[in-house]
């Protein structure tokens, strides 16, 4: 069949398909008309294949190619129910993923909690160590924050009636920012994650050791134990996700480095998804529970210990059932 | 996310230009044109400007609301810093406002629209692309990659491609429709028709130079070769 005949036979069809695409791209498609979209799209693909095989002119082939590309974009749009997926991921997928990536998680946790604890113990034994990590001004402001005489605790105590909203915003910004950096810098052969894990571990450890040593232990520990369960775990997990990226570059196995990175990226971004959920929860607890002074330290320790156990149980046990959740 | 990376399929030799072909399950090749450094940088600059202006306005308005307002502003700053690109890319068919302005869009390596995971990956890893300053790593990676990917794009398996506008219908030069003197292969057919379609874009001297190459196989004098080719193109297109 000659090209001009073929074109005139299908011209109207292509025109209608283009109009349908316009509507879909602007998000204003009529649902009744869209029922035929899949069939129309396949038909167009067939026309394109025919035009190509028959050696029709570049102009026609390009025009059909473009329609096919636009159709492809609309046809393969991701329309999965996000809410259900999210719940499934948080209940089952995330803890399973953490266990599957246990090597990275163990390495990151060891580095982070190891540096945190050893720096804490060292600062407790040698009080001057704090000044090697934190400058004196910051130490003073840190001490003011956790002064046992203060009515409110935490980073905004100086403001008196520090608004919970303000704190919630600040915690989200600060903590998720740190977690994102810890993850992303893992792309530098894992060195960035290594740095951020160690740096944050040493910093938090030094502050904790110092405040315990000068006798502010009750205000400090009762403040941090609650949200720490989520916040510290989340930073360790973000580091694990970063290590996964770095490891893909260092030891790509049987893939090319680019391919290995892409595969690792798909897994590690899911870890980051869980980290975000943890940090949102931590910010919420920090703003609305940790900073309150109506609960006695004993209650805070109890709640905090329960939260730690919950986090551990969640990561170790959730989603171990044999069948997929309904 | 696609399970395995679709390898670009090139029938025959590698194309001279930067086009990127993806074979789809429908049995056709999608042709994507990856966008280079300059349009991408411009799109980013526009997005940066939009974000800056938006945050400025937010701070002025919410600053009047006191502490509650500042808390809200901090959350907004966080959202704008880390989520602006992701939300636009996923919810607006791969286009942030800057990309839309420049006619770009983000797609997966296999040509499907970008999803949450890939978009989040490429935008979080932006943090590494801007290192050590002013997007140095990103620029180096972009200039070295066949499809102009920055590091975030490589890890996420995404491409930034042009959104082509519909081509104008070319006017074939006037000539009497002719039958080709011998059977033409598909590639030869395409070449002859391509020559006729592009006649308007070439100078007369270049046209006759190109057509002259075919004078001998077409068995005409070199000065008639161009007209002869136009005739054959017409004949291939319509009744002869």
∠ Cα B80 A281 A141 (to 5°): 80
DSSP A182-198: HHHGGGTTTHHHHHHHH
Q: What are the residue boundaries of the structural domains of chain A, listed by start?
A: 3-75, 82-317
pTM: 0.83
What digits encode the pLDDT tens for the residues A21-71?
A: 888 888 777 788 788 888 999 999 999 999 888 888 888 888 898 899 888
Q: Looking at B162, B191, B209, which one is the last position of a domain?
A: B162
Asked, for residue B81, whether it belongs to a domain, the answer is: yes
Residues 28..87 of A with a Cβ closer than 8 Å to B: which? 41-42, 45, 48-49, 52-59, 62-63, 65-66, 68-69, 72-73, 76-78, 82
Are residue B157 and residue B203 in the same domain, yes or no?
no
| Residue B172 and residue B237 in contact, taking contact as beta carbons nearer than 8 Å | yes
For residue B240, the model assigns a pLDDT of 58
Asked, for residue B30, whether it belongs to a domain, the answer is: no
**Greater pLDDT, A216 or A277:** A277
For residue B51, the model assigns a pLDDT of 93
- Inspect the interface and report whether the beta carbons of A58 and B120 lie closer than 8 Å: no
pLDDT of A16 higher than 60: yes
For residue A160, the model assigns a pLDDT of 44
Q: By three-state DSSP, how is residue B112 classified?
A: coil
Note down the domain range covering B157: 37-162
Are residue B94 and residue B134 in the same domain, yes or no?
yes
Asked, for residue B20, whether it belongs to a domain, the answer is: no
Task: Using a CB–CB cutoff of 8 Å, tell me whether A170 touches chain B.
Answer: yes
Please measure the distance between the N-terminal and C-terminal CA atoms of chain B and give it in whole angstroms.
50
Are residue B194 and residue B148 in the same domain, yes or no?
no
Token pair 């089952």: residue:
A92
Are residue B151 and residue B43 in the same domain, yes or no?
yes
- Inspect the interface and report whether the beta carbons of A170 and B71 lie closer than 8 Å: yes
Are residue B126 and residue B149 in the same domain, yes or no?
yes
Percent of chain A with pLDDT over 90: 35
Asked, for residue B17, whether it belongs to a domain, the answer is: no
Are residue B225 and residue B179 in the same domain, yes or no?
yes
Asked, for residue B196, whether it belongs to a domain, the answer is: yes
Tokens encoding B28: 């056709």
C-alpha to C-alpha distance for A179 and A104, rounded to whole angstroms: 15
Cα–Cα distances in angstroms (integers) from residue B122 to residues A10, A271, A287, B114, in the given order: 41, 15, 31, 10
pLDDT of A252 higher than 60: yes
Are residue B59 and residue B143 in the same domain, yes or no?
yes
Contacts of B185 in chain A (CB under 8 A): 55
Are residue B102 and residue B120 in the same domain, yes or no?
yes
What total number of domains does chain B contain? 2
Asked, for residue B4, whether it belongs to a domain, the answer is: no
- Inspect the interface and report whether the beta carbons of B70 and A166 lie closer than 8 Å: yes
Q: How far is B221 from chain A (nearest CA, A)?
A: 26
Are residue B42 and residue B153 in the same domain, yes or no?
yes
What digits encode the pLDDT tens for the residues B37-51?
A: 999 999 999 999 999
| Residue B30 and residue B21 in contact, taking contact as beta carbons nearer than 8 Å | yes
Task: Please list the helix, strand and coil fractions of chain A in percent, rounded to the nearest 5, in that order.
Answer: 80, 0, 20
C-alpha to C-alpha distance for B199 and B172, rounded to whole angstroms: 8
For residue B1, the model assigns a pLDDT of 40
pLDDT of B2 higher than 60: no
The arithmetic mean of pLDDT across residues B18-43, rounded, is 89
| Cα A303 from chain centre | 26
Phi, psi of A35 (to 5 degrees): -60, -35
The arithmetic mean of pLDDT across residues A286-315, rounded, is 84
B126 burial type by CB count under 10 A (0-12 exposed, 13-18 middle, 19+ buried)? buried
What digits encode the pLDDT tens for the residues B68-104?
A: 777 778 788 888 888 899 999 988 888 899 999 999 9
Token pair 């974000």: residue:
B51
* Substitution target from B17, B21, B29, B74 for chain A, most A beta carbons within 10 A: B74
Q: Looking at B120, B141, B162, which one is the last position of a domain?
A: B162
- Inspect the interface and report whether the beta carbons of A258 and B116 lie closer than 8 Å: no
pLDDT of A321 higher than 80: no
Are residue B151 and residue B213 in the same domain, yes or no?
no
C-alpha to C-alpha distance for B216 and B228, rounded to whole angstroms: 12
Asked, for residue B7, whether it belongs to a domain, the answer is: no
pLDDT of A158 higher than 60: no
What digits encode the pLDDT tens for the residues B152-211?
A: 999 999 999 998 777 777 777 887 878 888 888 888 888 888 888 888 888 888 888 888
pLDDT of B147 higher than 80: yes
Q: What is the CA radius of gyration of chain A?
A: 28
C-alpha to C-alpha distance for A253 and A21, rounded to whole angstroms: 43
- Pick left, alpha or beta for residue B174 (phi over 0 → left; psi -120 to 50 → alpha; otherwise beta): beta
ipTM of the complex: 0.84
Confidence at B12, pLDDT banded by 50, 70, 90: low
- Inspect the interface and report whether the beta carbons of B194 and A172 lie closer than 8 Å: no
């Amino acid at each position: 069949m000659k090209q001009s005949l073929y074109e005139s036979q299908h011209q109207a069809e292509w025109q209608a398909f283009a109009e349908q695409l316009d509507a879909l791209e602007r998000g204003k498609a009529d649902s009744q008309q869209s029922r035929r979209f899949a069939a129309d799209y396949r038909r167009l693909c067939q026309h394109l294949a025919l035009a190509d095989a028959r050696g029709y002119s570049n102009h026609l082939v390009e025009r059909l190619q473009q329609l096919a590309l636009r159709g492809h974009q609309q046809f393969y749009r991701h329309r999965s129910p996000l809410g259900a997926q999210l719940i499934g991921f948080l209940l089952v997928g995330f803890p399973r993923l953490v266990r599957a990536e246990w090597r990275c998680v163990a390495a990151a946790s060891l580095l982070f909690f190891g540096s945190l604890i050893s720096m804490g113990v060292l600062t407790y034994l040698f009080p001057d160590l704090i000044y090697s990590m934190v400058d004196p001004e910051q130490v003073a402001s840190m001490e003011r924050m956790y002064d046992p005489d203060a009515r409110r605790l935490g980073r905004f105590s100086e403001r008196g009636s520090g608004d919970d909203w303000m704190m919630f915003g600040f915690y989200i910004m600060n903590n998720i920012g740190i977690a994102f950096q810890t993850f992303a810098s893992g792309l530098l052969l894992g060195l960035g994650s290594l740095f951020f894990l160690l740096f944050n571990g040493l910093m938090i450890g030094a502050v904790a050791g110092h405040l315990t040593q000068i006798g502010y232990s009750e205000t400090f520990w009762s403040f941090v134990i609650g949200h720490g369960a989520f916040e510290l775990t989340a930073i360790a997990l973000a580091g694990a996700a970063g290590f996964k990226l770095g490891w893909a570059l260092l030891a790509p196995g049987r893939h090319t480095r680019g391919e290995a990175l892409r595969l690792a990226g798909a897994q590690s971004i899911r870890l980051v998804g869980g980290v975000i959920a943890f940090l949102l929860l931590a910010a919420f607890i920090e703003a609305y529970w940790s900073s309150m002074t109506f609960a006695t330290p004993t209650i805070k320790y109890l709640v905090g210990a329960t939260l730690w156990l919950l986090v551990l149980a969640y990561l170790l046990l959730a989603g171990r059932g044999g069948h997929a959740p309904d | 996310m696609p399970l395995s990376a679709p390898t670009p399929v090139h029938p025959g030799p590698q194309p001279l230009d930067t086009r990127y072909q993806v074979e789809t399950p429908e049995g056709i090749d999608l042709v994507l044109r990856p966008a280079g450094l300059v349009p991408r940088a411009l799109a980013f600059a526009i997005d940066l400007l939009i974000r800056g202006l938006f945050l400025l306005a937010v701070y002025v308005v919410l600053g009047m609301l006191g502490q509650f307002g500042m808390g809200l502003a901090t959350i907004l700053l966080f959202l704008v810093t880390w989520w602006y690109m992701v939300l636009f890319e996923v919810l607006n068919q791969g286009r942030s406002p800057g990309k839309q302005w420049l006619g770009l869009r983000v797609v997966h390596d296999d040509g499907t629209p970008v999803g949450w995971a890939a978009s989040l990956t490429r935008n979080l890893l932006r943090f590494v692309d801007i290192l050590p300053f002013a997007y140095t790593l990103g620029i180096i990676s972009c200039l070295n990659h066949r499809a102009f990917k920055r590091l975030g794009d490589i890890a996420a398996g995404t491409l930034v491609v042009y959104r082509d506008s519909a081509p104008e219908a070319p006017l074939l030069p006037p000539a009497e429709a002719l039958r080709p003197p011998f059977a033409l292969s598909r590639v030869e057919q395409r070449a002859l028709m391509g020559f006729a379609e592009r006649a308007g874009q070439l100078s007369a001297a270049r046209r006759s130079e190109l057509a002259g190459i075919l004078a001998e196989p077409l068995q005409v004098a070199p000065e008639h070769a161009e007209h002869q080719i136009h005739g054959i193109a017409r004949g291939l297109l319509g009744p002869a």
